[in-house]
Structure 1
Amino acid sequence: MRTLLMAAAGVLLLAPAAAQAEAGDLLVRLRGIMVAPNEKTGPVQPTFPTGKTSVDNSFAPELDFTYMFTNNIGAELILGTTKHDINGEAALAPVGRIASTWVLPPTLTLQYHFMPTAHVRPYVGAGVNYTIFYSEKASSALNTAVGRTNVRLSDSFGYALQAGVDIDLTQRVFANFDVKYIDMDTKARLTTGTLVNRERVHIDPFVFGIGLGMRF
C-alpha cells in the first residue's frame, strides 16, 4: 500500500502544473501553418471562357496573440504571410504556372475555451478576416503565351471559423493544434496591353497549424 501511495505521489509531482489561461492573461503562440486553398474558380473572361485556375498550398510560420477577457472567453489575432502560385487549369493547363502572389490575411476571432483549468483545453472561435494580396507577378510562361501581363488581385473581407486545443508542457508553456476555415474571395484582373481578362476566385482555405505557446 505504501508503495502504491509513493508511486501515485511521484506521478503527481511529474505532471506539469496547469498553464491554464485566466482573465487578463496574454497567450502568445508560434505555429507552423499549412494554408490549403479549397478554391472554386470561374472562367477567365473574355479570352479564355473555358479556362480556370488553381491555387497551390503554402507553408509558413505564424504568430498569434490571444487576450483572455474571462477564464473562458478570449480574442485571438493572427499574423503571418504566405506565397502562393496560381496555375492554369482546363483550357489554360498548357500554360502551367500563370502567376504568383503574396497573401497577408490578418484574422481576429472570438474564442470560447471549454476547460480553462484542465491540462488539455479545447476551444472554438469565430470572427472576421481581411486578406491583402500583394506583390502579384505574372509568370514568364504567361508572358510568353499572351504577351507581357500585369496581374492584380482584389482584397477580401470575410468570416473565419476556428477549432483547436492547448496541451500543457510546463506551468507556462503549452503545445497547440489549430485549424481554421477562412471565407476568402478575390477578383483577378489580368491586363495585357489594352485587353483586360477577369476571373472571380473563391479561395476559402483551410489553415492547419501546430506550434508552441506561452502564457504571460
Structure 2
Amino acid sequence: MENSMRARTVLAATSVLAIATSLAGNSVQGADLGPEPAYYKAPHIEPSNPWMIRLRVLGVLPDSGGSSVNVSGSPSLSSPSSGLSISDQAIPELDITYFFTKNLATELILGVTSHHISGNGALTGLDIGKAWLLPPTLTLQYHFTNFGPLKPYIGAGINYTVFFNQSAANTSLAGLAVTDLHIRNQFGAAIQFGFDYMLDRHWGLNLDVKKLWLRPEYSATVNNAVAVTGRASIDPWLVSGGVAYKF
C-alpha cells in the first residue's frame, strides 16, 4: 500500500513538472522579442544602355602652312616660293559613341565638308579649285567619371578622308589657269579632348576638340599642259559643340 502511494506521488510530481516545463516554453515563445526582421529589397536599377549620340556644329580649320607645290619647269613658282591656302568651313556633324564600360568608349564622327583651295606666295591670287571631304574619324576614349555631371574625356584614333566632287577652278591669273585637279584619299592620325555636361540622365551639352594629321598627295594641270604635283598639308583642327543624348 505504501509503495503504491509512493508511486502515485512520484507520477503526480512528474506530471506537474512536465506541465510547468511546457508552460514555461510557451511563455518564452510568446514573449515580445520584437518584430521579425524585414527582408531587404534592393532598389530597382535600370540597366545601362551603352549608346550615346551627339549632334554638333563642327568647325573645320585647316593648317595648310606646310603644303608643297612643284610646278614642272618653273622653279620660281614652286615651293618654297609658293604654297596652298585651304578655306575654313562649318558644318553640322553627327557622332555615335559606344561605351564598353563607364570609362572606356569608342566614337565615330560623320559629316561632309567642302573646301576651296587657292595658291599663296608666288601663286597668290591663283584659284586652284575645290573639293568635298568625307572624313570619318574613329577614336578610342577614356571618360573621367568623378566630377559629377561634368564628364571630361580624352581619345586617340584614326581618320580616313575621302575626297570627292573635285573640280579645277579654270580661272585665269596672269595667263595661268588650273584645268585639272586630283587629291588622293588619305589615312591620318587623330587625337581629341572634350567633355559632356549632363543636364539629366539622358541629355547633356558637349564640347569637343580634335586634331587630325592629314597630308594627302595631289596632282594638277595648268593650262592643260603643265604638270603640278605636291602634298597638301591640311592638318585640320576640328572644333565642335552641341547636344548629347545618352540612351
Quote the offset at 1:202 in angstroms. 1.5
Aligned residue in 2 for 1:41 = 67
Q: Does the alignment pair 1:100 with 2:130?
A: yes
Q: For residues 90 and 148 of structure 1, do their structure 2 counterparts lie closer, same or farther at Cα, with a shift above 3 Å needed? A: closer
Q: TM-score w.r.t. structure 1 length? A: 0.84
Higher relative contact order structure (alpha carbons within 8 Å, sequence separation ≥ 6): 1
Equivalent position to 2:87, from 53, 56, 81: 56
Cα RMSD (Å): 1.9
Aligned residue in 1 for 2:13 = none
Q: Which structure dedicates a bigger proportion of its chain to strand?
A: 1
Aligned residue in 2 for 1:174 = 204
Name the SS for the 1:34 alignment partner. Answer: strand
After superposition, where does 1:184-203 map in structure 2 within 5 Å?
184-192=214-222, 193-203=224-234
Name the SS for the 2:97 alignment partner. Answer: strand
> Given residue 35 of structure 1, which amino acid in structure 2 is its aligned partner?
V
- Check conservation: 1:186, 1:201, Cα contact below 8 A: yes
> Given residue 131 of structure 2, which amino acid in structure 1 is its aligned partner?
T
- Check conservation: 2:171, 2:178, Cα contact below 8 A: no
1:12-48 residue CA offsets vs partner (Å, 9 max, x unmatched): xxxxxxxxxx965101000101000112111333242
Distance 2:245 2:143 in 1: 16
Equivalent position to 2:195, from 165, 175, 182: 165
After superposition, where does 1:1-216 map in structure 2 within 5 Å?
24-39=49-64, 40-46=66-72, 47=74, 48-49=77-78, 50-95=81-126, 97-115=127-145, 118-142=148-172, 145-147=175-177, 149-192=179-222, 193-216=224-247
> Given residue 234 of structure 2, which amino acid in structure 1 is its aligned partner?
I
> Given residue 135 of structure 2, which amino acid in structure 1 is its aligned partner?
P
Structure 1 unaligned runs (5+)? Answer: 1-21
Percent sequence identity over matched residues? 35
1:115-152 residue CA offsets vs partner (Å, 9 max, x unmatched): 17720000000000001111111114258843561100
**Over alpha carbons, which structure has the higher Rg?**
2
Name the SS for the 2:125 alignment partner. Answer: helix
Aligned residue in 2 for 1:5 = none
Q: TM-score w.r.t. structure 2 length? A: 0.73
- Check conservation: 2:106, 2:140, Cα contact below 8 A: yes
- Check conservation: 1:72, 1:116, Cα contact below 8 A: no
Distance 2:178 2:59 in 1: 32
Distance 1:188 1:142 in 2: 20
Structure 2 unaligned runs (5+)? Answer: 1-46
